[in-house]
Amino acid sequence: MHVNTFNMEIFAPTSLVARAHRVDTHGSCCCYSCDPREHEAALPTGSRGRREKEAVWRPCTVKPRYGKVKTPSPGCRPQEDFSVFTRIEGEESLPMPEGRVFPVWRGIGASSGIGWSQGWARCLKWDPNRTDLAARIPVFDYPVWLVLCRGGRARLGEVCQRGRGAIRLPADMLSFKLPQLFDIHQVPKVFREDGIISGYRHPRSSALDCILSSFQMNNETINIWTHFLPTWYFLWRFCVLCSTLNFLTDSYTWPLLVYMMLICVYPFTSSCAHTFSTMSAESRHICYFFDYGALSLYSLGCAISYGYYVMPECWVNTWLHQHFVPIAIGNTVFCTSLSCYSRFLELQFPKRSKALRTIAFVVPFIFDTVPLVYRILLCCGGSCSPTGALSNHCYHLLFAFLTCFLFTAHLPERLAPGCFDYFGHSHQLFHVSAVVGSHFQMEGVIADMTSRRTWLLNHGMMPSFLGTIGALAISLAINLGIIGIFSAPLLWKPCRSPNQPHSSTCGCKEQ
């Protein structure tokens, strides 16, 4: 930062000028004696004695330290010299010391002189000709007062304006330009959604652009927040359970521990997938690979909790009960593999891709809920009394069917393309329905765990580490391997050439 010189007149008593040769240890200020007459002369108007009125002021010119006087900055009158007015009180006036000297007021104790640093007076000296940064940027640790004349007020305003410009950060650091949005015909086919006409983000967005776009209204904004905010709700419920249950030593709570971890992971992964899916065509596929993997792991968490807490009494200790978790691990492998594979068919065979992806998630759901549905049918037949847990499970099943319908039907945007680009399209409703259904499922699982604890501990199998946390670790490793296998062709052998920045990935047709 370069500080230009400028003209400014200030009032300073002659006696202050005469003693201005003594500099403090920092070399940036001049201190003077505590003579009461000088004290009164330097006090602001209203605090001085009668001798202030008898004082006579005359200008004296201050010569620059180095060479010739520099050209005044724009806005200053060149015919005026940089001058100060010295007070004549029986002694000869002397020029001000080198540099720019300003009296500094501490602000308290004006009438008694306590407010002045080091005695009663202190002057801040600012030399713009020095090259070191400390000399060019003075630190005003106290409010500065000046007695101005001959247009000094306007020049002080100029100084303030330059000061604001000197300390102002670059505009690009303080303000962010929101990413530009595009219509459906402006983006590659791999980024297009059925019935969504506008609000598309740039297909080559940076990570920062993707994050900023979550605060900008586009066709993915609601998708991001409808899963990001519920993540914090489920985390809060998890923390409450951690404070009331002993997850470390009580093995009966381990199925709930696995379930609560996965119910927090799947909406967060989905939110991240929707946020960063426009960095490139390859990143879009990989983001949704992780989204599908998180959903398949969530189905495993449902199976573990259902197998230990929700299983009908007549099915406890049967072959299905004993092999329920291993079969669920196989379902996660099937779900992740088929859903990831369906993305490679999305452009050439969109209907086939949609059907395979739907099957990939419906099969684990049906397997997990078979014990629950049988238990509900028994209660409807009068074999058991309805409970609060079963009510929550029924609500969960209702929202699960609604979620499946919204995922496959693409309503209402299919009926009115372009009318639901930002609000109300099927994927937003799909997210909301899935989260509400997960809430009722969580409440039902917690209620069953609490109400059936005594009976299950006496007649059922105790949850083991291998059957809960071990099953999660095994399934996580397998699913990460599957995601890596499907991601490898996209990362190592992309079909896009450097001269085709907007072409899609392997297996993509022309746009």
User: Binding site residues for Zn(2+), as ranges?
Assistant: 274, 427, 431
Report the alpha-carbon distance of residue 256 to residue 247 in Å, rounded. Answer: 9
Residues 6+ apart with CB under 8 A from 340: 289, 292, 482, 483, 486
H or E segment at 100? Answer: strand 100-103
Q: Which amino acid type is present at position 351?
A: K
Residue 10 CB coordination number (10 Å): 19
* Beta-bridge partner residues of 158: none
Half-sphere exposure of 79 (CA within 13 A, CB side): 2
Report the alpha-carbon distance of residue 202 to residue 199 in Å, rounded. Answer: 10
Among 393, 398, 481, smallest CA distance to 434 is for: 398
Q: Which residues belong to the annotated binding site?
A: 274, 427, 431
Report the alpha-carbon distance of residue 273 to residue 292 in Å, rounded. Answer: 10
Handedness of CA 289, 293, 295, 296 (dihedral sign): positive
**How does DSSP classify residue 493?**
S
Instruction: Say if CB 210 and CB 283 are below 8 A apart.
Output: no
DSSP per-residue letters across 7-71: ---EEE-HHHHHTTT-B-TTSSEEE----HHHHHHHSPTTSS-THHHH-EEEEEEPPPSSSSPPP
